[in-house]
Amino acid sequence: MTEASHKPDKRILRSKAALKQSLLELMRQKDFASISTTEIVKHADFNRGTFYAHYEHKEALLEDIIHDLLSGLIESFRKPYEEVASFELERFPASAVTLFDHIYANAEVYALMVDQKVMPGFREKMFHALKQTSIEDLIPQLHVVGDHMLDHELLVVYQMHALLGLTFHWIQEGFKQTPAYMAEQLVLILRARPTTVVAKRGSAIDK
């Protein structure tokens, strides 16, 4: 089998890309449940035969979009450590963080997909993808706090919720900061780890 036979057909790639774009544009106007296959192909200026040559139904098209996003998300998450055996957070350079670059490059799609009213469950898919990747790829040094050992899975759950909380805030605020700024702040947050927190005067604790 020749090398050329392994390459995806460019016409197929273009057709799929157009169908994905068509669905995303329609999802900005209405709920996914109310979008028909006919609307998707008409919006893409295709016929139903072209659609069914690639997808069994509209749900398969949506899953393809989600798969693309999550694959890119995982790839960007892995980028900082893909060529190293270990790393120290204290020396971790912000320039190595590419997750925010990936999200910013797909800003419109992420802004749409993380909207719970538009795409319920997508945030959970992001969390589970990153959690599973972290558990499978990274082995942190075991830490003992007092007489207790930190639970690795719970640590990852905490870290991924924190990372995604920061990410969702950035998306919902309309990408006010640059990806480079977000990467820098993430690294600073990882390094901070304050051991003492002071309650402000007039806070709820004083009332």
- Quote the pLDDT of residue 99: 97
Q: How would residue 1 be classed by pLDDT, with cut points 50, 70 and 90?
A: very low
Q: Is the pLDDT of residue 5 over 80?
A: no
pLDDT category at 162 given cuts 50, 70, 90 is very high
Residue 103 pLDDT more than 60?
Answer: yes
Identify the CA nearest to 186 among candidates 198, 169, 205: 169
Residue whose C-alpha is closest to residue 183's, from 102, 64, 84, 74: 102
Both tokens assigned to 134: 């972290």
Mean pLDDT over 12-25 rounds to 95
Spatial separation of the C-alpha atoms in residues 186 and 166, rounded to whole Å: 8
197, pLDDT greater than 60: no
Confidence at residue 141, expressed as pLDDT on a 0 to 100 scale: 67
